[in-house]
Structure 1
Amino acid sequence: METDTQLAAVQQFTKARMADDETGHGYDHIQRVVNNVKQLLAKETGADQLVTISAAYLHDVTDDKLVEDVNAATDELTNFLKETHFSEDQVAEILEIIANMSFSKSLNGQNAKPLPIEGQLVQDADRLDAIGAIGIARAIYFGGHFGEKLYDPEIAPRVEMTKADYRDLSNETIINHFYEKLLKLKDRMNTNAAKEIATGRQKTMLEFLDNFKDEWDGIQ
């Protein structure tokens, strides 16, 4: 099967599963991550483009915060990739990337496997969409969807978290999420190209937080 035909099938598979998402992980997010990874691929050498772009499309379809049954979603994805003529090695690499690239895998008690260059590029592309102006909007959208409190100066950002802590939104505010995760991503980018983009987006978030707290405190 031609690579373009495989990517078109992957795109449609993802769109069918993510189009109705209301958490900030919908198909618009997927498209931006794919666009990001294509930009990174143009600057980084040595990556399998089919695996990288496919993993970018598929990185959220088995995410445990978005699907009810991770095992069933993984089985469905595995069968789809095999039917779409991905090799056994390509299937294994795509599944390994999407299982080990999330921020939660870096938290206490987690043992993420080292990512190949393809996974590093997808991780960078996904993290770039979590920061900057889009990242600000997505953080508010996600928090609002789950009924998070916008801000409470009496609630300090959490420093040490397990995955269970991270998933527990009852003890988090939307603004604290910037300190608990989003502002950390710039220094966790894998590639030089992503680090350069992240620097500007970090500045956007810091300016937003400064302005937000000034307005919260009534400072003109």
Structure 2
Amino acid sequence: MSDIVEATKGFVKQKLLGEGSGHDWWHIERVYVNSLKIMVGTTEVVQKEVVELAALLHDIADWKFHNGDETIGPRTAREWLESQQVDEKLIGHVCQIIKDVSFKGAGVQTVMKSLEGQIVQDADRLDAIGAIGIARTFAYGGYKKRELFNPDIEPSMHRTAEEYKSQQSTTINHFFEKLLLLKERMNTPAAKALASERHQYMVKFLEKFLLESHQEKSVHFEMIAQFKD
């Protein structure tokens, strides 16, 4: 492991350890480990240091916690990497990944410009689904004081990033508006294989949640069918 990767681990851990919305240091560590796993399963040549640094820095300053400012993440990452005298080409690649990595709405395409970006995006999305994804979704919903579930509020398939950023929805709706869509949006074969089981775990959870909520005739329950394999 390079010195800059090790130093970046310490920098990010110091900033995010103990954060309560599900975007904490342990999320970063899981994304980092997922990135390495996906990279191992990739037959193409990958710039390992780019993947490692982008995975570690991808949530260093998330727009969701900075009034929707999408520039603050890449800017904060750049400031850190420049302070470590990292090569400009590498910095530019890492910052581009951070800029593009986030989900921006059901109707918005978020195409990564490099294989390294695809790997980090897949790793981040894997941590948004499955058992971990369920836990993080409710942590974030509580952090934002969102209503847990309201059968009268239907999921919205946001057509623009602006619609997605300004949404006022429920935690359960977030599964339909984002998380259940991620399996089909994985970039790499390795991530697609890992995503399948996690996706089905969420489907089963939602089905059980809605049954226990006596909502088997709701729009939400009807929507689940389209996400079953």
- Judged with a 3 Å threshold, the aligned counterparts in structure 2 of structure 1 residues 218 and 194 are, in CA distance, closer, same or farther, namely closer
- Judged with a 3 Å threshold, the aligned counterparts in structure 2 of structure 1 residues 107 and 20 are, in CA distance, closer, same or farther, namely farther
- Gapped runs of 5+ residues in structure 2? 217-229
Q: Does 1:206 align with 2:208?
A: no
Secondary structure of the 2:63 match is coil
2:53 corresponding residue in structure 1 = 54
Q: How does 1:3-152 map to 2 (within 5 A)?
A: 3-44=1-42, 45-67=44-66, 71=71, 74-104=74-104, 107-108=107-108, 114-152=112-150
Deviation of the 1:76 alpha carbon: 4.0
**What amino acid sits opposite 1:186 in the alignment?**
K
2:227 corresponding residue in structure 1 = none
Task: Report the Cα distance in structure 1 between the residues aligned to 2:33 and 2:153, rounded to whole angstroms.
Answer: 37
Show CA shifts across 1:38-72 (max 9, x none). Answer: 11111113110001011000001132113366656
Q: Judge conservation of contact 1:132–1:204 (CA < 8 Å) in 2.
A: yes
Deviation of the 1:107 alpha carbon: 4.6
- Judged with a 3 Å threshold, the aligned counterparts in structure 2 of structure 1 residues 122 and 218 are, in CA distance, closer, same or farther, namely closer
Task: Report the Cα distance in structure 1 between the residues aligned to 2:5 and 2:176, rounded to whole angstroms.
Answer: 36
Deviation of the 1:195 alpha carbon: 0.3
- Judged with a 3 Å threshold, the aligned counterparts in structure 2 of structure 1 residues 125 and 78 are, in CA distance, closer, same or farther, namely same
**What amino acid sits opposite 1:87 in the alignment?**
D
- Judged with a 3 Å threshold, the aligned counterparts in structure 2 of structure 1 residues 73 and 210 are, in CA distance, closer, same or farther, namely closer
Task: Report the Cα distance in structure 1 between the residues aligned to 2:153 and 2:10, rounded to whole angstroms.
Answer: 42
Secondary structure of the 2:64 match is coil
Calculate percent identity across the aligned residue pairs: 37
Deviation of the 1:113 alpha carbon: 5.8
**What amino acid sits opposite 2:171 in the alignment?**
I
Task: Report the Cα distance in structure 2 between the residues aligned to 1:198 and 1:134, rounded to whole angstroms.
Answer: 12
Task: Report the Cα distance in structure 2 between the residues aligned to 1:134 and 1:217, rounded to whole angstroms.
Answer: 25
Stretches of 4+ aligned residues off by more than 3 angstroms: 67-76, 105-108
RMSD: 2.1
Task: Report the Cα distance in structure 2 between the residues aligned to 1:21 and 1:177, rounded to whole angstroms.
Answer: 21
- Judged with a 3 Å threshold, the aligned counterparts in structure 2 of structure 1 residues 152 and 85 are, in CA distance, closer, same or farther, namely same
1:195 corresponding residue in structure 2 = 192
- Judged with a 3 Å threshold, the aligned counterparts in structure 2 of structure 1 residues 103 and 81 are, in CA distance, closer, same or farther, namely same
Q: Judge conservation of contact 1:67–1:73 (CA < 8 Å) in 2.
A: no
- Judged with a 3 Å threshold, the aligned counterparts in structure 2 of structure 1 residues 101 and 72 are, in CA distance, closer, same or farther, namely closer
The aligned length equals 214
- Judged with a 3 Å threshold, the aligned counterparts in structure 2 of structure 1 residues 71 and 154 are, in CA distance, closer, same or farther, namely closer
